[in-house]
């Protein structure tokens, strides 16, 4: 899957359109708006907001408290998640599908979000997971040689494995490798391609006369893993296994296309869970970029680098002077340190107290940044420790097509 390389600030360097634009390559806020309007996006895409009744049902079905990404609205929108819960309650199987577009050696914190959430889903539902590494997509869109894109897929796989996925229930695959060894994958790609006209692809993705034909054909490659017959070694060719896809909202166009094609091909429509965009470290006037080490916290950063980046570059919602801040309080709506804490501080009560103290002026910006440093440092260090333990042999095992520890009938 072509994971989101779009930050919440990608729109800042572009001229503002009258209406916001969100697709797999752009997130452009509307003229006069500081950020993406997610409520409007739900209406525009035709998805559904995740309401309390759905969260209550997930808790009832799993018998566990829902993930804080759900409680806090980080995953805020869905398509057909109740059908997945229906299947689970009826003891019918389903599988998870997410992915990563390997465009850089090091992933940043924002890249972790879908994988941390997918790990939660795998744990609470005890289901298989397929992870698509779109090295082909990055070759088509980026200034990368094919061999380099392929190498980065394996490097990024180590970071994904370090998130703690169950090797007995997880298959990670490079498109370049899997397409060459699994005829079922290519056959499903062809079936999807035949269902979608060039005019439809242009309308969905904004393709033009200058789009290369590889780019225009790629969406079917991202769509195919939504269907269980793409993985005969896992599901034995059974077409009746449903799919749940956690992803950033900018990936939805791929799966709107997939959902349109599914009934024509006799497959289930994939269900989706959509997340918001991850904030850029330097705030709404900046953009996360692998070429700018100060634009985000990378998973290779040392504890000192994390401290320096947060202290020096994290955009502040504080006031100009200490006295003014004590009197008026800070703005958590724009403060990046607070926003990062909503992603990575799991303690709801502590987060609420930090919000109250900052907005009242009791907590200063420097104090808030220290809170974030105290959360991020052990998180990144632990990730680095786990990644160091991922050997080439472990990567090979995760990325070898094989049967998973999964029963089609429970």
Give residue 410's pLDDT. 43
CA 380-104-97 angle, to 5 degrees, is: 75
Give the predicted TM-score (pTM) of the model. 0.94
Please report which confidence band the pLDDT of residue 15 belongs to, taking 50, 70 and 90 as the band edges.
low
At 13 the pLDDT is 46
Mean pLDDT of 262-277: 97
Asked if 134 contacts 175 with a C-beta cutoff of 8 angstroms, the reply is yes
Pick from 28-32, 41-45, 311-315: least confident: 28-32
User: How does residue 211 score in pLDDT terms, banded at 50, 70 and 90?
Assistant: very high
Local confidence band at 4 (pLDDT 50, 70, 90 cut-offs) = low
Say yes or no to pLDDT of 61 above 60.
Answer: yes
φ, ψ for residue 108, nearest 5 deg: -110, 180
**Residue 6: pLDDT over 60:** no
Cα three-residue angle 338-341-345, rounded to 5 degrees: 150
Summarize pLDDT for 122-172 with one digit per residue, the tens.
Answer: 999 999 999 999 999 999 999 999 999 999 999 999 999 999 999 999 999
Indicate whether 10 pLDDT > 90.
Answer: no
The average pLDDT across 14-28 equals 77
Interatomic CA distance for residues 210 and 296, integer angstroms: 32
Residue 352 has pLDDT above 90, yes or no: yes
Residue 345 has pLDDT above 70, yes or no: yes
pLDDT in tens, 173-197: 999 999 999 999 999 999 999 999 9
- For residues 340 and 372, the answer to whether their CB atoms sit within 8 Å is yes
pLDDT(269) > 60: yes
CB 222 within 8 A of CB 1: yes
- 148 compared with 287, residue with greater pLDDT: 148
């Amino acid at each position: 899957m072509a994971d989101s390389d779009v930050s919440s600030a990608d729109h800042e360097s572009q001229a503002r359109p009258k209406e916001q634009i969100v697709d797999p390559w752009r997130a452009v806020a509307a003229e006069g708006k500081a950020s993406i309007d997610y409520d409007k996006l739900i209406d525009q895409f035709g998805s559904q907001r995740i309401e309390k009744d759905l969260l209550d049902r997930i808790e009832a079905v799993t018998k566990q408290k829902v993930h804080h990404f759900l409680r806090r609205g980080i995953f805020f929108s869905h398509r057909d998640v109740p059908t997945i819960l229906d299947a689970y309650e009826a003891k019918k199987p389903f599988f998870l599908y997410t992915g990563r577009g390997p465009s850089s050696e090091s992933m940043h914190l924002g890249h972790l979000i879908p994988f941390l959430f997918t790990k939660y889903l795998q744990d609470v539902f005890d289901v298989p997971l397929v992870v698509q590494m779109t090295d082909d997509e990055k070759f088509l869109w980026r200034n990368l040689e094919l061999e380099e894109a392929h190498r980065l897929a394996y490097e990024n796989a180590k970071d994904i494995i370090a998130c703690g996925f169950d090797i007995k229930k997880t298959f990670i695959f490079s498109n370049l490798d899997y397409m060459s060894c699994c005829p079922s994958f290519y056959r499903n790609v062809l079936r999807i391609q035949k269902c979608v006209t060039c005019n439809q692809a242009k309308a969905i993705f904004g393709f033009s006369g200058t789009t290369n034909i590889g780019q225009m054909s790629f969406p079917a490659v991202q769509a195919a893993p939504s269907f269980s017959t793409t993985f005969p070694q896992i599901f034995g060719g059974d077409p009746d296994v449903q799919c749940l896809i956690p992803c950033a909202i900018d990936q939805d166009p791929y799966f709107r296309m997939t959902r349109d094609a599914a009934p024509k091909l006799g497959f289930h429509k994939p269900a989706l869970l959509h997340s918001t965009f991850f904030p850029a470290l330097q705030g709404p006037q900046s953009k996360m970029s692998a070429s700018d080490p100060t634009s985000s916290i990378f998973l290779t950063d040392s504890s000192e680098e994390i401290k320096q980046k947060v202290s020096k570059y994290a955009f502040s919602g504080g006031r100009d002077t200490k006295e003014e801040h004590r009197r008026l309080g800070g703005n958590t709506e724009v403060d990046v340190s607070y926003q990062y804490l909503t992603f990575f501080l799991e303690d709801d009560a502590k987060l609420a107290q930090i919000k109250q103290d900052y907005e009242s002026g009791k907590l200063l910006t420097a104090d808030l940044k220290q809170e974030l440093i105290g959360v991020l440092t052990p998180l990144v260090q632990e990730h680095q420790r786990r990644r160091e333990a991922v050997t080439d042999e472990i990567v090979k095992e995760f990325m070898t097509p094989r049967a998973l520890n999964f029963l089609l009938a429970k």
